[in-house]
Structure 1
């Protein structure tokens, strides 16, 4: 069975990324593998500051799974899906999971960052350069022209 890996984050482009992945999944009768990579957070929920490190990881994973469950619930009927939550640098996690799941394609969004990385985004740039699978980058739509 073919699989399409869809790394999801909480940016505005995520629904568009998923829509593109669903189209490909229908065309190739593929399963959609939703992935959330959890890096070292710069901000934590207040309750995390009183927890042991293992409990913090569990809290972050629980939140990521809850977010991905919302996307799974909105998938059209007939689209097979699975969910993965992994800890590590996003680009490395994406490359590792793409290989482990033997995916046909990685469909991911791009963010605007600085100069060269601004073309795709630092995570997208690294995935394109290091992943041994095909990668489709979904860009944010351009802002409409000002009246």
Structure 2
């Protein structure tokens, strides 16, 4: 059975990613692995107390993420009728997604694009572009959908 890895961040883009992943799974008789990456906050500090708080924040984020993944898994399995598994990792998104793709032997990665500017991507990086360059399998990038419709003149 083929595997579709669908990293989601619970944003609006995640709904579009799920739709594309479901369609691919149906077409290829595949299972979907929903993946969420918890990103620890980046802190530069000499204070150990802050580091303890960061560990608490990460632990809370991991528990919240696990609950949300469980909801999404049940919803997709019920509505789409395709096998769905969940996975969670903590760390850098691109590296974590690639590790999960290798671990699950993913045939495709379906990832959302938030449509940031080129300047944002230059400084902050883009998960989608990092995956395109380094993924061990094809990457399907789901474009952001406009939130407002513009009127034609």
TM-score (norm 1): 0.83
Separation in structure 2 between the aligned mates of residue 146 and residue 68 of structure 1, nearest angstrom = 37
- Structure with more helix by fraction: 2
Q: 1:122 aligns with which of 126, 133, 140?
A: 126
TM-score (norm 2): 0.80
Q: Which residue of 1 aligns with 2:151?
A: 146
Q: Which residue of 1 aligns with 2:71?
A: 70
Counting only pairs closer than 5 Å after superposition, residues 91-110 of structure 1 correspond to structure 2 as 91-110=94-113
The 1:60–1:136 alpha-carbon spacing in structure 2 relative to 1, beyond 3 Å, is same
Q: Which residue of 2 aligns with 1:45?
A: none
Report how many aligned residue pairs link the two structures: 139
TM superposition shift of 1:134 = 0.4
Separation in structure 1 between the aligned mates of residue 41 and residue 113 of structure 2, nearest angstrom = 20
The 1:145–1:2 alpha-carbon spacing in structure 2 relative to 1, beyond 3 Å, is same
Counting only pairs closer than 5 Å after superposition, residues 31-110 of structure 1 correspond to structure 2 as 31-41=31-41, 55-75=56-76, 76-110=79-113
Q: Which runs of 5+ in 1 are unaligned?
A: 43-48
State the Cα deviation string for residues 10-58 of structure 1 (Å, max 9, x = none): 221111110110011011111100000111137xxxxxx8x66655443
Counting only pairs closer than 5 Å after superposition, residues 8-47 of structure 1 correspond to structure 2 as 8-41=8-41
Tell me, yes or no, if the aligned pair for 2:40 and 2:54 is still in contact at 8 Å. no
TM superposition shift of 1:113 = 2.4
Q: Which moved more, 1:55-64 or 1:31-40?
A: 55-64
Larger radius of gyration: 2
